[in-house]
Amino acid sequence: METTLGDVWREVLSTQEEPERWIVLGAAVLALAAVLFTPVWRVARNVVTIAHEGGHALVALLSGRRLTGIRLHSDTSGVTVSRGRPTGPGMVLTVFAGYVAPSLIGLLGIVMLMSDRITALLWLSLAVLAAMLLMIRNIYGVVSVVATGAAVFLVSWFTPSEVQGAFAYLFIWFLLFAGVRPVFELQSQRRRRPSPQSDADQLARLTGVPGTLWVGVFALVNLAVTALGVWLLLF
């Protein structure tokens, strides 16, 4: 039977049953393992970089800056370039957004999961990735975003609702947990190889507040969001 656009739209807007408890818990364990097990983390961290740079890009646009491009690199670093005032609240918020974006996106995803909008969550993720793809300015970045989008699309289009639910919970658990580790990696890198281009050191120049304190703020925000997310999903 032919699938119409109306059928797709109704499916996206429909609600799906929450997976069984053991699936939710299993997804949490797998997501935490992906963050803690370094060989897996090196690959999975690309998803975090997409969320990180997406956070910079979104806040840049919301603060009135002009977004000119995003680059994602094979070492899981990235850069988002925007034009506008080099100082001021808009610039501060744009720089600040990156390290807290993955955890906050995870929390937003939890709100959708609690409303049983599993398919809508997956398709919203696809829409965000498609919009971000328009601003990617290097080949690796294109490959990274397309590969992530392809995985989400294949699950959302070709698998039953039970598989979609398990995948969605795994995805959101991962973002929730994965927001924390890069903050500690940032401070470790700052100790070994200080870089004036790190987000914390850019914020230090913009505000006069030491970079180490900004790292602490990143950590506090992400740990608090993670704790809230765990409570919402498990209790």
Query: What is the pLDDT confidence band of residue 7, given thresholds at 50, 70 and 90?
Result: low
Distance CA 205, CA 209 (A): 8
pLDDT tens digit sequence for 102-114:
999 999 999 999 9
Question: Does residue 73 form part of some domain?
Answer: yes
Residue carrying structure tokens 């603060």:
63
**Range(s) of the domain holding residue 126:** 16-234
Is 223:99 a contact under the CB 8 Å cutoff? no
Counted domains in the chain: 1
Say what the pLDDT of residue 87 is.
95
Is 69:53 a contact under the CB 8 Å cutoff? no
Residue 140 CB-density burial (10 A; 0-12 exposed, 13-18 middle, 19+ buried): middle
Does 150 have pLDDT greater than 60? yes
Distance CA 136, CA 72 (A): 8
Question: Does residue 29 form part of some domain?
Answer: yes
Question: Does residue 11 form part of some domain?
Answer: no
Say what the pLDDT of residue 100 is.
98
Does 1 have pLDDT greater than 70? no
Residue 83, H or E segment: strand 78-83
Question: Does residue 10 form part of some domain?
Answer: no
Question: Does residue 100 form part of some domain?
Answer: yes
| Cα-trace Rg, the chain | 18
Question: Does residue 49 form part of some domain?
Answer: yes
Question: Does residue 105 form part of some domain?
Answer: yes
pTM check: above 0.75: yes
Say what the pLDDT of residue 15 is.
81
Say what the pLDDT of residue 12 is.
72
Q: Over range 79-86, report the average pLDDT.
A: 95
Distance CA 89, CA 140 (A): 31
